[in-house]
A and B are shown apart, each in its own frame.
Chain A
């Protein structure tokens, strides 16, 4: 490899549903890393691959329809192209949906950055008997056009060669001309001229910059030149007065006129054939009467698939961890360590790792099934079916799946919010998921109701808690919608892609990446949380762990006045602190705190029925666990959102328990 070769950045850009991610996986393999775009909850994926002597960084831009931003994703893409233009743009087009994709292609071609166009899913159009004249496309666009099937890998060598050639001989792209109304042309011309006179240093075409500036509220982010900014403002006012529709809409009109012409050129006289199989499938899956029952059945299968398969795997892992742990900590080397350090290693670090690992099976399964639903095209149908219902809560129809799966475990459910295409719904859904009654909380409720209630009443208590969880989700949905916490809602206009066969490769890869991602992003936070709780429970060292004299015990007593109106004593308060690690250990921690063998007897003598319900309500609504918080943080990348989730959970839990317990007392129960 030639060490003098400059590093090359290629940005992968396309409209949604073009198979961009499949191509990204194909090119970068396992070298991917994920993060967030600065300041927003939009995922940034990048990967590395080599092209001859060059090391290429491939940036996967979020799917967008245009560079004139409506959504946060589009803003990310525009800002990226303007502020740190890549060496090459790799644009992906869906061969079966050329005209729509060309809208973005033409807009990007105007930037003058070197570009390669990959026409993807060529196998599908071929099967449907459609031939494409891609030579004509390349001629008109002035850039290399490669036919490709990212699914089968067909055309990949050609694509790599085309990219290599362009890196080797970077030529300025010839900008396709799009005719616009004369007034716009004049505006572009004048601003372009002003940009040319200013001392701006950019690889981007000046007319392209002029267009972006005309769309933006604030030009100062790209130019410090007062003249350019003032001229742009002047033209914005003038265009607003004389155009009947907004400037971006007029531009889109011009662009799509050109795109339509281009698509016609490529497709020739071929009629648009409706995909019979596709409409037949939709006739079943979106049927007026059967559509919803089929959906409910599939959701049941999904839930069972994730948790029915996941729970035994978790069990096996936890047993294996216990055994490995007790073996490891019975070794001479470990036994010779001081007792405090042993406890730190075993109850702190080892425990933390065990908590992290316990999530892996369900995360893998969750994303396996989610990818199946997404790649097959059913996800868009879910959004269509559930839109009415979820729209009331200000949510995307796709949010339904995440919230539903929260009833199994909040952690993958929060991670799953990334299938939603707009950040408003994503944030809102993330904040609602912690109120879903996950199976870990169910364990507490089953245990406690068995102690405090007869077997005839216990199931009703649990059912009421589920009801309480539904109400909490719905009410918080309304409240969050009211306060616009996730930003402003976006218009709901969604493409419904054709059904496709998911490949095992892409589904498997997705599960694998999500597990890796969870380990790198959420795991450190989870282990840190577990260690903090360990410290609280074991410090100072000269008292029995979790007793009243430990920091946790002292905290419990300090907090006693806060929890007293809820009928929750300091012992249970410590258990609630434990519950921050994972709800599964609340019951076990109660046993440690009460320190007796007959936990049921001890508890029922200390706690009344009312108090036990109040405790359960609190458990239901407060922070689910450190892993969920870690997931929310790593998905939203926003301290604000994470804090809102944490604080609102505690506040709502306190309020609900308070209202329940005090009104119970008022009515003479105890």
Chain B
């Protein structure tokens, strides 16, 4: 089950993606966003967080980049679509699909050896525990991942109820 929510500032990590459901309550901000064509239904992908924090660069799915403040995004109602595995939005028991493994060659090899591949399905066994314990749905294997590894794994929310 997926739902629109206010995504907390701490969960606005690079490579997260969400769909805007409503533009938030600040009229001026909402109007500005709307006039730039950023409307409910728009996919936002977070490209990066500024080195000093506070400001993020997002892509609107049209190949255009924007800078916004984190509070402004947090004030919107968004539906998370994809996020790195370390995100606090990744919930226990839900099934996710691996969208992207963003690492170098050795990382790719290590993941392949552990049985993780793009489009593979995974579940989180325990939330908030480090290292992160996941279960590979297809092979029913259990893998534990370090924080650095989890950061490079981008997972996608899939739209059916968890099967746990």
Which A residues are closer than 8 A to B by beta carbons?
Answer: 65-66, 68, 70, 96-97, 99-100, 103, 245-246, 248-249, 252-253, 256, 259, 272-275, 282, 286-289, 291-292, 380, 383-389, 391, 397, 490-496
Contact = CB atoms under 8 A, between A and B. Distances in A.
B104 to A, nearest CB: 14
A100 B39 contact: no
B36 A65 contact: yes
A405 to B, nearest CB: 21
A495 B66 contact: yes
29 contacts: A65-B32, A65-B36, A66-B35, A70-B31, A97-B62, A100-B37, A245-B22, A245-B30, A246-B31, A248-B35, A249-B23, A252-B39, A253-B40, A256-B34, A286-B50, A291-B51, A292-B51, A380-B67, A385-B51, A387-B52, A387-B67, A388-B54, A491-B72, A492-B72, A493-B32, A493-B67, A494-B66, A496-B57, A496-B66
B110 interface: no
Contacts of A66: 35
Contacts of A493: 29, 32-33, 36, 38, 66-68, 72
Given A286-B50, A387-B52, A490-B28, 6 more contacts: A249-B31, A253-B34, A282-B57, A287-B51, A388-B54, A493-B36
B35 A103 contact: yes
A288 B54 CA distance: 13
B143 to A, nearest CB: 27
B117 interface: no
Interface string B58-95: 00011111111100100000000000000000000000
A491 B39 contact: no
A641 B139 CA distance: 70
Given A490-B28, A492-B68, A494-B66, A249 B51 contact: no
A78 to B, nearest CB: 12
Contacts of A246: 27, 30-31
Contacts of B38: 493
B148 interface: no
Given A246-B30, A491-B28, A496-B65, A388 B53 contact: yes
Contact of A383 (B32, B34, B63, B67): B67
A633 B22 CA distance: 42
A385 B57 contact: no
Given A246-B30, A252-B34, A387 B69 contact: yes
Nearest to A498: B65
List of 10 A-B pairs having minimum Cβ-Cβ separation, nearest first: A252-B34, A388-B54, A66-B35, A496-B65, A388-B52, A65-B35, A491-B29, A387-B55, A249-B34, A272-B63
Contacts of A272: 61-63
Nearest to B52: A388
Contacts of A287: 51
B26 interface: yes
A282 B66 CA distance: 13
Contacts of A494: 66-68
Nearest to A495: B66
Contacts of A68: 31, 35
Contacts of B39: 249, 252-253, 256
B46 to A, nearest CB: 13
B99 interface: no
Contacts of B32: 65, 70, 490-491, 493
B48 interface: yes
B35 A99 contact: no
A100 B69 contact: no
Given A245-B23, A496-B66, A252 B31 contact: yes
B52 A389 contact: yes
Contacts of B53: 388
A288 B67 CA distance: 15
A291 B47 CA distance: 15
A289 B51 contact: yes
Interface string B117-130: 00000000000000
A272 B61 CA distance: 8
